[in-house]
Amino acid sequence: MVVLDLWDEVVPAWNQTNNFYGKPFVWNMLHNFGGRTGLYGTIQRVNEGPFIAMKAASNMIGIGMTPEAIETNPIVYALITESAWNTAPVNLTRWVADYVYSRYPAPNRGGNISAVMEAWQTLSQTVYSCYTRQEGTSGNLLAARPNFKLERVGCCAPLAIYYNATKLLDIARTIQQYFDIIGSSATLAYDLVDLLLQITANDAVTLYNNITQAYAKGDAAALLRYSSDFMKLFEIDALVNFMPKYRLSTWVNEARAWGADAAEADLLELNAKTQVTLWGNKFSPLSQYAYKMWSGLIADFYQPRWEMWFKALAQSLQTGQPVNMAQFTAQVETFELSWTQQQQQQQQDAAFEEHADTASRVLAWAIGFLEQRQ
């Protein structure tokens, strides 16, 4: 028997069970729940945890990973995989610097990689130093089913932000400036898109609170102003579209490719779209468990739901009647189920390199757009 301690970086079980009573065990990092999009990490714990266990428990026989999805927050996975070759924690400041050097192209045209490195040091000490017990990244409110007093997206992604987010936009500017100098770099673009999505998510929470207060005060003008600003955040769909990883079409096309015939391909598309939205039928308690911030989901699935919500709030203030939540929920559930069941014409996927010429323009637009929101 070998025991897999599944979520050691947050809730280790080995030290609660007398080292699993002597049974051999593997120290594991879980990190990701449902493949949800967002910046998140516990790199201090990942760096130190395996070696604390190794020193305390002679029956620890390895280091592993148990994520529910991968291809998010690469820095975290770079650290845990390297830990398997180490005998002690690394110096994180030096390690992060080495990570930046290895991940990004060399500055052969005057690029200031020192500024990028400093930006990543800040990220490592804020976004990637979570000490709460939350299950993965903080939720992106744009992906939530609208309601009053939202505290999480779906069942499990809290909206609370556990770090000081004030420097994120400055970090984005630094990385975007380096991208402009270096030119085409899929890793730079990937990290910058992740960062801009997180800034958008954080901004959405602020606007949501303003909208809630305006509605409570019966201030129709403020409600219109803040809800209009909120809806503009969905323009971020254009930002992520040039990255194949961030397109719903990539996910659906790969699913359909497994179909032996058209009927089976349609079924696989239904399953693929359901997995990243409802995770079951329209009453599923795990709805939005595996939400993604992808082009095709942002504009076509998330945006219409919030349009319905703001329309309901505006009508409520106009008529003086409270929002009929049963009616609104039924309307949203009908839309969600219908969306998953529709076979949509998906765009043909192209590699990042085919979009590289537009990447700098789109990234610069996104930063300018978010700067106006600050």
241-298 pLDDT, tens digit per residue, is 888 889 999 999 999 999 999 999 999 999 999 999 999 888 889 999 999 999 999 9
Higher pLDDT, 351 or 258: 258
| CA distances to 38, 122, 240 from 126, in Å | 14, 6, 24
Q: What amino acid is encoded at 254 in this protein?
A: E
Q: Is 343's pLDDT higher than 80?
A: yes
The mean pLDDT value for 312-321 works out to: 97
Q: Quick one: average pLDDT of 3-21?
A: 97
Q: Is the pLDDT of residue 123 over 50?
A: yes
Confidence of residue 182 (pLDDT cuts 50, 70, 90): confident
- Residue 1: CB atoms within 10 Å: 6
Q: What is the mean pLDDT of residues 109-138?
A: 90
Q: Determine the pLDDT at residue 319.
A: 97
Using the predicted structure, report yes or no on whether residue 352 has a pLDDT greater than 70.
no
Q: Say if CB 294 and CB 246 are below 8 A apart.
A: yes
113 pLDDT exceeds 90?
no
Check pLDDT > 80 for residue 118.
yes
Mean pLDDT of 69-78: 94
Least confident of 90-94, 99-103, 268-272, 350-354: 350-354
Residues sharing a CB contact under 8 Å with residue 209, sequence separation 6 or more, in sequence order: none
- Has this prediction a pTM greater than 0.85? yes
